[in-house]
Structure 1
Amino acid sequence: MALYRQLQVKFWQDGFVLDLTPEEKFFYAYLMTNSKTTQCGIFELPKRIIEMETGYNRETVDKLIKRFVDYGKIYYSEDTKEIMVKNWIKYNFINSKNTILCINKELKEIKNTEFVFKFYDICRELNYPLEIIFEGIQEVENNLSEDTNSEIFKQNTSLIEKEEEVEETEETFEENVDFKEVVNTFNNNIHPITPIEYEKLKNWEDDVKCDAIILAIKEAVNHNARTLSYINSILNNWYNLGLYSAQAVNAYQRDWNSKNKKDKNESMANAEAYMYVE
């Protein structure tokens, strides 16, 4: 199956990117779209591969890696030849069982345990479902005690499991909802909005409809993750998928659930056929 990595068009207008040299811009885009990238954003990337894929010599590769480490955008391990794109999971996380299982599998193959702990800290800060993401990873499981919001993660686990059992009930949203309703929804479900939170949500109005922002707020409430960072991660996921309205999100989720059930039924049918042949 072909793999694709999406790069938002807003990337080129990002304040950090605008200040980069042309060489640095290309390298930053390469780090997020190269052939070794993974769902978790941690992957083995030997320098000889970077040389082959970019055309840069070793001296240039060393220089660029050091710069982005100094910029605080990546970590690089000389021992394991692994790289971690620091904010990758913040903007590319999708709260679905298949995605989380994929991330869990990738984490088990990471050689540099320090990267796993850094990844754990980021996921914890963003209120991602740690107990599922790090299931079976001994070093991290020892940190999952009662004082790490484990009740929240159990609720997230329950919500994900329910995707397999029943179709989610679609909500009806009014068209042409204005931003005032977004603010009211945030105030009533999260907490009284601050000026900074207002501006960050207002920025989303340029890219998605207000009903999608409202839906993202309600999704955060359903997952008991009442933070702006979690709402932003939901909106980023939808934006990357080309879902700019609540209607588009509902249609996508409905199609995904339908396809998931169909694939499961086909797998069961194939397994029964195989057993019959045997």
Structure 2
Amino acid sequence: MAIYRTVSLTFWEDNKIVDDFTYKDKYFLLYLLTNPHTNLIGCYEVSIRQMSNELGLDKSEVEELLTRMEQVHKVILYAEETKEILIKNWHKYNWTKSDKLLKKVEALIEYIKNERLKKELEEILKKYRVSIGYLYPRDTSVTDPVLNINNNINLNNNTKLNVLNSNTKLNNLDNKKELIFNNIFSTIERNFGRTIAPLECDVIKSWVDNNISEELIVYATQIAVCNNACSI
């Protein structure tokens, strides 16, 4: 479990937050984003009683805030029968392009009890993979709707493989740099004991692009950990 959560400063500049959220709405949403029950997928179990105790609010106030978040602001889904909550935009700020991370997300989705929330998160993951250019491994002998948009266009297997290879490159890094990036990414996640944020992921990519050695980057992050500075 992560020992802290990062909230972007843009939270306070978001037009929806500024214009539509009351001070209680903001307090409640910050709680939903940072409470100790949160996890990698942004879908976790927490009862109304727990929220009431942790927030210092009456149960009726929590119920009212849950309703506002789901029906008015449309930023969450809550399943009272299983006591599960889903933060709809969690993935935008907590997921990266890491194949390892996305496989963890996929595995954790299977533990969601409520079918409505599970289907919603499966759809979010599907759209997220498309948005970052991630393609599932495919049997290239089967017609692929992504590669073969027009059924009248016939692509041979070699062409399909070339398209897959070009799309699965990590941010245009060559194979060697991609390997270095993955090694650094995994090491830093392990050292920090948490998921690397998208902005931190971009910083790591820039280091690799600028040919900063893997050993130097890892050494620098180890020093940061020793100084209780688990961030990039």
TM > 0.5 between the two?
yes
1:72-221 matches, cutoff 5 A: 72-126=74-128, 127=130, 129=134, 131=136, 146-147=144-145, 159=169, 166-168=176-178
| Residues 41 and 90 in structure 2, CA contact (< 8 A), matched pair in contact too | yes
| Residues 135 and 167 in structure 2, CA contact (< 8 A), matched pair in contact too | no
Matching residue of 1:22: 23
Unaligned segments of structure 1, at least 5 residues: 133-144, 171-235, 260-278
Q: Write the distance in 1 (CA, Å) between the matches of 2:208 and 2:50.
A: 38
With the length of structure 2 as denominator, give the TM-score of the two structures: 0.61
Q: Write the distance in 1 (CA, Å) between the matches of 2:122 and 2:147.
A: 13
Q: Deviations over 1:169-217 (max 9, x none)?
A: 89xxxxxxxxxxxxxxxxxxxxxxxxxxxxxxxxxxxxxxxxxxxxxxx
Aligned sequence identity (%): 26
Matching residue of 1:3: 3
With the length of structure 1 as denominator, give the TM-score of the two structures: 0.52
1:40-55 matches, cutoff 5 A: 40-55=41-56
SS at match of 1:121: helix
Q: CA RMSD, aligned part only?
A: 3.8
Counterpart of 2:198 (choices 237, 240, 244) is 237
Number of equivalent positions: 176
Q: Residues 158, 125 of structure 1: CA spacing in aligned structure 2 closer, same or farther, 3 A cutoff?
A: closer
Which structure ranks higher in relative contact order (CA pairs < 8 Å, sequence separation ≥ 6)? 2
- 1:237 is displaced (CA, Å) by 1.2
SS at match of 2:178: coil
One-letter amino acid matched to 1:237: P
Q: Write the distance in 1 (CA, Å) between the matches of 2:210 and 2:3.
A: 23
Displaced runs of 4 or more, over 3 A: 128-132, 145-160, 242-256
Q: Deviations over 1:40-69 (max 9, x none)?
A: 111111112211211111000000000000
One-letter amino acid matched to 2:105: I
Unaligned segments of structure 2, at least 5 residues: 138-142, 149-159, 181-196, 219-232
One-letter amino acid matched to 1:11: F
SS at match of 1:168: helix
| Residues 41 and 105 in structure 2, CA contact (< 8 A), matched pair in contact too | yes
**Comparing both structures, which one devotes a greater share of its residues to helix?**
1
